[in-house]
């Protein structure tokens, strides 16, 4: 089984990215041949500064490694190091119906927010589809918000194979972990770097502690049982507490007798227990950019080898 996924290098990573995506990447490395990449071509739709683009690409690669993506077990690479991607992007794009792109959630959401759409934003799902299809991927682990993109990849693979009467592309399956499908931010909305509601993975610890202390709560008094529905603090604790401690924590939440401040303290404890190790590794890797580059270059070679047969099927099918 071939597993593939990517994360855009468009900002600093937060715990929503970890529990929604990266944690699955790490867990899945043992279940098949895993390919993970830094989607730095996708990031160009929002990052328009070369130095910043390079910095974010590097930091995203370091984050993957620090969180446990193991280059001995997985292929870790930069999207832009596989130039075949952009050729396949054009070729696949020639069979993609405009109407599909017009109803893409990601596109519609950004337009609704008043962002002036450009071709990059519009064509984004086509690039993502070739990311997946070029490596004959079987499973694509992602957060819920990416599900439509994978459905598009399946639809277009079928359209393409039918148009050219040839089995060029294999149909991938999304893998969405329902329990952690949407991680709430400190305001209770979906955690997202665009909403200023994140708890970051590798940022300044003081700022992170402040964020954890300001998770939105209601006015339930300390002695009363706490509500479990629509409560961001409860959801975050549930995601972060180790299973062995969750039952007791859940019980004290429901029983009452402890204020929200106490539970915020618990959340901070679990943050440290989970991320102190990765934060330490992150600092070590940041200090060794040559090693990170070596890993990415090696990953790109392996990724290009895996893509080679699909690229030749594609070129042959269309007459290039
Ligand atoms: P952001 O919303 O902060 O811009 P991205 O869109 O770059 O994050 O998401 C990167 C990955 O992390 C995707 O696979 C996405 O599904 C996942 N992800 C992002 N935010 C969350 C969240 N709040 N809950 C679950 N998964 C998330
Ligand atoms: N669009 C994805 C995101 O925002 C990143 C991505 C690009 C991706 N190409 C992909 C994810 C291919 C999975 C497979 O997170």
Question: Which atom of ligand 1 lies at the shortest distance from residue 180's CA?
Answer: 25
Nearest CA to ligand 2 atom 2: 7
Q: 249: pLDDT confidence band, cut at 50, 70 and 90?
A: very high
Could you give the dihedral angle defined by the CA atoms of residues 100, 103, 107 and 108, in that order, rounded to the nearest 10 degrees?
A: 170
Going by C-alpha positions, the residue among 5, 12, 76, 79 that lies closest to residue 42 is: 79
* In the predicted structure, residue 162 carries a pLDDT above the cut 90: yes
- Ligand 2 centroid, distance to 262 Cα (angstroms): 37
How far apart CA 175 and CA 143 sit, in angstroms, is 8
| Ligand 1 nearest atom to the CA of residue 144, by list position | 16
- Mean predicted lDDT score pLDDT of the chain: 96
Active site members: 110, 190, 193
Pocket mutation for ligand 1, best pick of 21, 38, 47 (most atoms within 8 Å of C-beta): 21
180: pLDDT confidence band, cut at 50, 70 and 90? confident
| Pocket around ligand 1 at a 6 A CB cut-off | 7-8, 10, 16-17, 20-21, 142-143, 145-146, 182-183, 190-194
Please report the pLDDT score of residue 183 as a whole number. Answer: 93
How far is ligand 1, taken at its centre, from the CA of residue 83, in Å?
26
Let me know if 206 is exposed, middle or buried by CB neighbors in 10 A (0-12, 13-18, 19+).
Answer: exposed
Mutate to test the pocket of ligand 2, among 16, 22, 42 (most ligand atoms within 8 A of CB): 42
Residue 108 CA, distance from chain mean position: 20
Q: What is the predicted pLDDT for the residue at 179?
A: 72
Q: In angstroms, what is the span from residue 108 Cα to ligand 2's centroid?
A: 17
Class of residue 285 by CB neighbours under 10 A (exposed 0-12, middle 13-18, buried 19+): buried
| pLDDT at residue 194 tops 90 | no
Name residues whose C-beta falls within 8 Å of residue 28's C-beta, 6 or more positions apart in sequence.
3, 34, 139, 141, 175
Give the pLDDT confidence score for residue 236 in this predicted structure.
Answer: 97
CA of 16 to the centre of ligand 1 (A): 6
Question: Residue by residue, what is the 3-state secondary structure of the chain?
Answer: CEEEEEEECCCCCEHHHHHHHHHHHHHHCCCCEEEEEEEHHHHCCCCCCHHHHHHHHHHHHHHHHHCCCCCCCEEEEEHHHCCHHHHHHHHHHCCCCHHHHHCCHHHHHHHHCCCCCCHHHHHHHHHHHHHHHCCCCCEEECCHHHHHHHHHHHHHHHHHHHHCCCCCCCCCEEECCHHHCCCECCCCCECCHHHCCCCECCCCHHHHHHHHHCCCCCCCCCCCCCCCCCCHHHHHHHHHCCHHHHHHHHHHHHHCCCCHHHHHHHHHHHHHHHHHHHHHHHHHHHCCHHHHHHHHHHHHHHHHHHHHHHHHHHHHHHCC
Q: What confidence tier does 153 reach under pLDDT thresholds 50, 70, 90?
A: very high
CB–CB of 266/241 below 8 Å?
yes
Q: Give the pLDDT confidence score for residue 176 in this predicted structure.
A: 87
CA of 145, closest atom in ligand 1:
16
Residue nearest to atom 21 of ligand 1 (CA): 16
Which domains does the chain carry?
2-182+289-318 (3.40.50.620), 203-283 (1.10.240.10)
Tell me what pLDDT residue 20 has.
87
CB contact burial 222-249 (16+ within 10 A = b; e otherwise): eeeebeeeebbbbbbbbbbbeeeeeeeb
Give the tokens for residue 37. 């990449």
Tell whether ligand 2 has an atom less than 6 A from the beta carbon of residue 140. yes
Identify the bridge partners of residue 74 per DSSP, sorted by sequence position: 34
Average pLDDT over residues 57-80: 98
Gap from CA of 317 to ligand 2 centroid (Å): 26
Question: Which residue has a Cα nearest atom 9 of ligand 1?
Answer: 17
Where residue 126 falls among pLDDT bands split at 50, 70, 90? very high
Residue 21 has pLDDT above 80, yes or no: yes
Q: What is the pLDDT of residue 181?
A: 73
Ligand 1: atom nearest CA of 7 is 10
How far apart are the CA of 26 and the centre of ligand 2, in A?
16
Share of the chain above pLDDT 70, in %: 100
Chain segment 252-299, per-residue pLDDT in tens: 999 999 999 999 999 999 999 999 999 999 999 999 999 999 999 999
For residues 101 and 125, the answer to whether their CB atoms sit within 8 Å is: yes
pLDDT score for 178:
77
- What is residue 296's predicted lDDT score, i.e. its pLDDT? 98
5 CA closest ligand 1 atom index: 14
Q: Whose CA is nearest to atom 15 of ligand 1?
A: 143
Is the CB of 5 inside a 6 Å radius of any atom of ligand 2?
Answer: yes
């Amino acid at each position: 089984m071939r597993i593939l996924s990517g994360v855009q290098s468009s900002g600093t990573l937060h715990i929503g990215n970890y529990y929604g995506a990266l944690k699955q990447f790490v867990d899945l490395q043992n279940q098949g041949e895993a390919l993970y990449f830094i989607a730095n071509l996708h990031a160009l739709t929002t990052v328009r500064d070369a130095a910043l683009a390079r910095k974010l690409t590097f930091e995203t690669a370091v984050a993957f490694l620090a969180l446990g993506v193991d280059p001995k077990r997985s292929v870790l690479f930069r999207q832009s190091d596989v130039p075949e991607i952009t050729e396949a992007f054009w070729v696949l794009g020639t069979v993609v119906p405009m109407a599909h792109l017009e109803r893409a959630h990601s596109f519609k959401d950004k337009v609704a927010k008043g962002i002036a759409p450009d071709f990059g934003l519009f064509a984004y799902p086509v690039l993502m589809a070739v990311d997946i299809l070029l490596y004959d991927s079987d499973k694509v682990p992602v957060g819920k918000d990416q599900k439509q993109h994978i459905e598009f990849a399946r639809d277009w693979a079928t359209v393409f194979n039918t148009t050219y009467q040839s089995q060029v592309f294999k149909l991938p399956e999304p893998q969405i972990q329902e329990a952690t499908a949407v991680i709430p931010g400190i305001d209770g909305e979906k955690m997202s770097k665009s909403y200023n509601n994140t708890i970051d993975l590798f940022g300044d610890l003081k700022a992170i502690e402040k964020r954890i202390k300001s998770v939105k709560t209601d006015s339930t008094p300390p002695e009363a049982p706490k509500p479990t529905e629509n409560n961001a603090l409860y959801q975050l604790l549930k995601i972060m507490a180790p299973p062995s401690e969750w039952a007791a924590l859940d019980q004290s939440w429901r029983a009452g007798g402890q204020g929200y401040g106490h539970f915020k303290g618990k959340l901070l404890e679990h943050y440290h227990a989970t991320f102190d190790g990765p934060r330490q590794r992150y600092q070590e890797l940041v200090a060794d950019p040559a090693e990170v580059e070596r890993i990415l270059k090696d990953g790109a070679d392996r990724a290009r080898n895996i893509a080679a047969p699909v690229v030749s099927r594609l070129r042959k099918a269309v007459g290039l």
